[in-house]
A and B are shown apart, each in its own frame.
Chain A
Amino acid sequence: ASEASEAQTLDSDDIIVTPQSQSCPKADSEKMCIEIVSLAFCPEAEVMSDENIQQVYVEYKFYDLPLSETETPVSLRKPRAGEEIHFHFNKVIDLDPVEQQGRRQFLFAMLHAQDPEEGRLKFTVVSDPLDEKNECQDVGYAYLELWQVLQSGSDILEQELKIVSPGDQAIQIGRLKVSLRAAAALHSIYKEMTEDLFS
């Protein structure tokens, strides 16, 4: 359904709407959003039977951002067989063309990486021990290819990534659901950087 015309908003004189605090929200080409949605483990994965692993969180690294901003603020109980745990942890990363050149260059380098290892965003599933004595331990990795987004020109919405074992990356231990809203920004970054190259 289309939005109603102003003519339909009878009596709107009685209502006072305050101006937006963000009068012009940031353009899509000047930000990206990463959401860690949910995760599940394969029922037969070792992590399921490992009693030292009781709760987990997920983190990723992004250029200059401190980990405290890119890790889920809570650890959740380890999912049971067939269960999914839900973080809905959404982070908007400012990619202002003037103030955040460093981040834009960082993303461009990822898009251009020769080594596929460097062209992807790495998510780490971490076991958070219940007692202070034990240390956090990586239980799995998941990778998101950035060039996919640039190539397809569309955002990634709730895509399931394989979680692989840190010991043997050929072994899948679970699934991590993520969203990446970055198509407009990556397009703009790629255009801006390649224009620089050839001008």
Chain B
Amino acid sequence: MGEPESLVPDTGAVFTFGKTKFAENIPSKFWFKNDIPICLSCGDEHTAIVTGNNKLYMFGSNNWGQLGLGSKSAISKPTCIKALKPEKVKLAACGRNHTLVSTDKGGVYAAGGNNEGQLGLGDTDDRDTFHQICFFTPKDSIKQLSAGANTSAALTEDGKLFMWGDNSEGQIGLKNKSNVCIPHEVTVGKPISWISCGYYHSAFVTTDGELYTFGEPENGKLGLPNQLLINHRSPQRVLGIPEKVLQVACGGGHTVVLTEKVVYAFGLGQFGQLGLGTFLFETSEPRVIECIKDQKISFISCGENHTALMTDVGLMYTFGDGRHGKLGLGMENFTNQFFPTLCCNFLKFTVQLIACGGCHMLVFATPRLDAIDESEFEE
């Protein structure tokens, strides 16, 4: 960044970091005329943006057709998906190489790679345009979408969770199948309030604040003691977190959990993505990220090997793999961060939305009238 913030309109801008395919991967920013983002999602190498006018914009890698533009050419500029224009797009989720969107009419659409049936269309043929998943009807009001390496999930307003795609590790919660091409319900007998698909593992939160994990059991990313890993193909409750859980975010090998009070991390942290310091590179026991305990965290996001936290006053902390400048802490000179690190670039902004992907991160932020003094944040 570095240029005067006055360049950003009051309605804010989307900031890009890392290998976005946008602006030759140089940290950059853009905004919409008379429109603002309401939902951001990053896949491995592609990005989806839903705006307040309910339009869907896509850019990035497209070799599986995951941008839904009817071609497989990479796109370097956010491009509106006109085919969806008759409907109002509400949500989008990018998996490694596929994309899910939901609309106001209750429709759920999918495009991109489909080798494990992650498009939910009943087959394993890739699609380079958005196709409606017939399983969902207008009465299924979608609250949240999530997508993993080759997995998909849709959570309804009334707390029902549906998943489909790759189940080789049990990451969509079915015991005996290697994959399914149509949505199936995942249930623990009570309503679900949050879902996150990692690369090869998944986690959800129930409305009463319990955390469940399932999928690939290695490296502690399920947060479960060893004796429970044999049942990794079914959602199991993570007992190591005593407080009420609000959100969960799954990355490539790690899991981050937001409770009413603090943030926990577990799994693999060889690049610092757990934020637990320079001595702990793996843990199956959920650990509190102590150094941000005095901040009220309101949102968490995990990329493959990095993590971002948003505070209630719109500040942002990042940590993990610093390559390609995806932590928003400098592009040319970078390093892995093993503790949550304040993104000083955003002291003059209120961070509104964050999405972390494979090697990139997108942030939507609006200018702050009362800039925060950096010195307030020195240790």
Contacts from A to B (Cβ < 8 Å): 1-4, 8-18, 20-22, 25, 33, 55, 72-77, 83-92
Contact = CB atoms under 8 A, between A and B. Distances in A.
B82 A22 contact: no
A25 B341 CA distance: 26
Nearest to B335: A89
Contacts of A85: 270, 281
Given A14-B33, A88-B334, A92-B332, A21 B1 contact: yes
B30 A25 contact: no
B185 interface: no
Contacts of B1: 21
Given A2-B74, A90-B323, 10 more contacts: A1-B61, A1-B63, A3-B74, A74-B278, A77-B281, A86-B321, A86-B336, A88-B322, A88-B335, A90-B335
A8 B57 CA distance: 13
B72 A1 contact: yes
B168 interface: no
Interface string B28-48: 111111110000000000000
Q: Lowest 7 A-B CB distances belong to which pairs?
A: A11-B80, A92-B332, A77-B279, A89-B335, A17-B30, A4-B73, A88-B336
Contacts of B77: 9, 12, 15, 17
A74 B271 CA distance: 12
A20 B278 contact: no
A17 B33 CA distance: 11
Interface in B3-46: 3, 7-8, 13, 23-24, 26, 28-35
A18 B7 contact: yes
B78 A15 contact: yes
Interface residues of B, number: 49
Contacts of A88: 271, 321-323, 334-336
Nearest to B79: A9
Contacts of A74: 278, 335-336, 338
Given A15-B31, A88-B321, A3 B76 contact: yes
Interface in B42-67: 55, 57, 61-63
Contacts of A55: 278-279
B21 to A, nearest CB: 9
B75 A91 contact: no
B333 interface: yes
A70 B277 CA distance: 21
A75 B69 contact: no
B74 A77 contact: no
Contacts of B32: 14-16
Contacts of A92: 332-333
B3 A4 contact: no
Nearest to B22: A17
A4 B338 contact: no
B2 interface: yes
Interface in B240-295: 270-271, 278-281
